[in-house]
């Protein structure tokens, strides 16, 4: 884990050039990404000089503050007086559909929300509708669906109208992760976004990007593309259970400034943890 090695590094004594170089290397190896790593180390170097810091122990305190300042606050509270819509986005295989089941479980069991509904708006991949249908069945959630190949915007429109009519609280909309090409995919998502904007108050509509933590810097590239196309409000990092690196969290904060709301830690509906920036920083550099 990145944190362990950083922790070891900060156990040493002097604050020479070698220390800063080693820190930068560790951050980059840990998926933090070159530009954020360089920036963090540069900032630390400046602050050490400015404050006349002599020991690595004191430097760590400053470093922790810098890391924390990269991570915006992140929870996704619901409005209880209207329909909330979470549009779930991301490339194929990152865990979108699984995360929808997790979110349904979380909002129902932890936050006591009644009236959750799924929109099966991945009409592109064979088997996608059946997959979300099975999950809905297991969780006893209503699902709005049409035939494979139908217009995803129309599925979402139907879901919105019926959810409003029934007075439901949370609509979780699945989307396709792959189409004939990327331009098609992004254009489709922009169309879906238009269907929702204007029908739902902006503070009740969240575009949530699902990223696979294992893909590291590649995931960050995906995030930039989606963010440019539809402006992402929040990120959920999945497969956190499958990576030893924590740096992607800092890369997301440093490069995109998009808050992370949850971490996926397994395949079951119960495997979702709210992301807490304070305890993340503590755990990353735990022991100091
Ligand atoms: N270990 C682990 N596996 C996960 C996690 N989230 C999803 N998965 C697995 O990743 C695989 C893909 O998940 P899906 O939810 O189908 O992914 P998707 O983004 O909907 O994929 P497409 O519909 O093909 O675009 C499944 O085998 C999931 O069980 C996680 O947090 N941890
Ligand atoms: Mg899916």
What CATH number did the domain enclosing 25 receive? 1.20.120.140
Token pair for 131: 């997959």
The ligand whose atoms approach the alpha carbon of 93 most closely is: 1
Query: Do 119 and 217 fall within a single domain?
Result: yes
* Strand 170-175 with 84-89, pairing: parallel
φ/ψ of residue 184, rounded to 5: -60, -45
Q: Which two tokens stand for residue 282?
A: 């503590």
Q: How many Cα atoms occupy the beta-carbon half-sphere of 52 within 13 Å? A: 0
Q: Which ligand is nearest to the CA of 215?
A: 1
Structure-token pair, residue 171: 């609509």
> Within a domain: residue 9?
yes
Q: Print pLDDT tens along the chain (288 aa).
A: 677 888 889 988 889 999 999 999 999 988 898 999 999 999 999 999 999 999 999 999 999 999 999 999 778 999 999 999 999 999 999 999 999 999 999 999 999 999 999 999 999 998 999 999 999 999 999 999 999 999 999 999 999 999 999 999 999 999 999 877 888 899 999 999 999 998 999 999 999 999 999 988 888 999 999 999 999 999 999 999 988 778 899 999 999 999 999 999 999 999 999 999 998 888 777 633
Do 126 and 246 reside in the same domain of the chain? yes
DSSP tag of 39 = H
- CA–CA separation, 7 vs 9, rounded Å? 5
Ligand nearest 90 Cα, by number?
A: 1
Q: Is residue 284 part of a domain?
A: no
Cα distances (Å, whole numbers) of residue 5 to 99, 130, 169: 31, 44, 44
Q: How remote is the CA of residue 128 from the centroid of ligand 2, in Å?
A: 6
Nearest CA to ligand 1 atom 6: 95
pLDDT value, residue 244? 72
Residues 123 and 168 in one domain: yes
- Could you say which DSSP state residue 214 is in? G
Query: Do 126 and 148 contact (CB within 8 A), yes or no?
Result: yes
Contact 40, 224 (CB under 8 A): no
Residues 145, 39, single domain; the answer is no
In a mutational test of the pocket of ligand 1, which residue from 87, 89, 90, 93 has the highest number of ligand atoms less than 8 Å from its CB?
A: 93
Considering only CA atoms, which of 181, 261, 264 is closest in space to residue 225? 181
How far is the centre of ligand 2, averaged over its atoms, from the C-alpha of 260 (Å)? 20
Ligand 1 midpoint to CA 239 (Å): 8
Are the C-beta atoms of residues 116 and 107 closer than 8 Å to each other? yes
Distance CA 50, CA 27 (A): 23
Q: How many domains does the chain have?
A: 2
Ligand 1 nearest atom to the CA of residue 92, by list position: 25
242 and 198 together in one domain = yes
CA 85, CA 77: separation in Å to the nearest integer? Answer: 12
Pocket of ligand 1 (CB under 6 A): 90, 92-98, 122, 125, 128, 177, 238-239, 241-242, 264-267, 271
Q: What is the pLDDT of residue 286?
A: 61
**C-alpha 39 – ligand 1 centre gap (Å):** 33
**36 is written with which tokens?**
């954020």
Residue minimizing CA distance to atom 26 of ligand 1: 95
Q: Quickly tell me which residue has 């997790």 as its tokens.
A: 102
For residue 128, the ligand 1 atom closest to its alpha carbon is 23
- Between CA 49 and CA 53 the distance in angstroms is 7
Residues 47 and 137 placed together within one structural domain of the fold: no
β strands within 77-204, DSSP E: 84-89, 116-121, 142-144, 170-175
Estimate to the nearest angstrom the gap between the alpha carbon of 82 and the chain centroid.
24
Q: Are residue 229 and residue 90 in the same domain, yes or no?
A: yes
Tokens, residue 46: 């400046």
Which residues neighbour ligand 2 (ion) by CB within 5 Å?
A: 96-97
Residue 287 is predicted with a pLDDT of 39
The reply to whether 88 and 64 lie within a common domain is no
CB-CB neighbours of 44 under 10 Å: 23
The reply to whether 186 and 248 lie within a common domain is yes
Report the pLDDT value the prediction gives residue 285, as an integer from 0 to 100. 74
CA 99 to ligand 1 center in whole angstroms: 8
Domain that holds residue 31: 2-69
Please give the number of the atom of ligand 1 that sits closest to the Cα of 210.
Answer: 19
Nearest CA to ligand 1 atom 4: 267
Write the burial class of residue 202 (CB in 10 Å: 0-12 exposed, 13-18 middle, 19+ buried): exposed
Q: Is the dihedral of CA 200, 84, 151, 142 positive or negative?
A: negative
């Amino acid at each position: 884990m990145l944190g362990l090695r950083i922790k070891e590094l900060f156990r040493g004594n002097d604050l020479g050039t070698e220390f800063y170089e080693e820190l930068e290397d560790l951050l980059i190896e840990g998926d933090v990404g070159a530009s954020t790593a360089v920036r963090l180390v540069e900032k630390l170097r400046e602050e050490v000089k400015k404050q006349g810091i002599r020991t690595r122990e004191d430097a760590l305190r400053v470093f922790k503050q810098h890391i924390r300042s990269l991570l915006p606050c992140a929870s996704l509270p619901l409005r209880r007086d209207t329909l909330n819509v979470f549009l779930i986005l991301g490339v194929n295989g990152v865990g979108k559909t699984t995360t929808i089941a997790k979110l349904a479980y979380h909002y129902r069991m932890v936050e006591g929300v009644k009236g959750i509904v799924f929109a099966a708006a991945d009409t592109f991949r064979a088997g996608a509708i059946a997959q979300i249908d099975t999950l809905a069945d297991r969780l006893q959630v209503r699902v709005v669906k049409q035939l494979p190949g139908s217009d995803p915007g129309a599925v979402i429109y139907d879901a919105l109208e019926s959810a409003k009519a029934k007075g439901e609280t949370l609509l979780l909309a699945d989307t396709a992760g792959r189409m004939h090409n990327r331009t098609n995919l992004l254009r489709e998502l922009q169309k879906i976004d238009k269907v929702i904007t204007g029908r739902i108050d902006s503070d009740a509509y969240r575009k949530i990007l699902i990223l696979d933590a294992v893909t590291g810097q590649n995931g960050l590239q995906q995030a930039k593309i989606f963010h440019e196309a539809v402006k992402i409000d929040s990120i959920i990092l999945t497969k956190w259970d499958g990576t030893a690196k924590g740096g992607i969290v800092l890369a997301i904060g440093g490069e995109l400034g998009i808050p992370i709301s949850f971490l996926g830690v397994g395949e079951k509906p119960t495997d979702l943890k709210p992301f807490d920036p304070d305890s993340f920083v503590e755990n990353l550099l735990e022991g100091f």
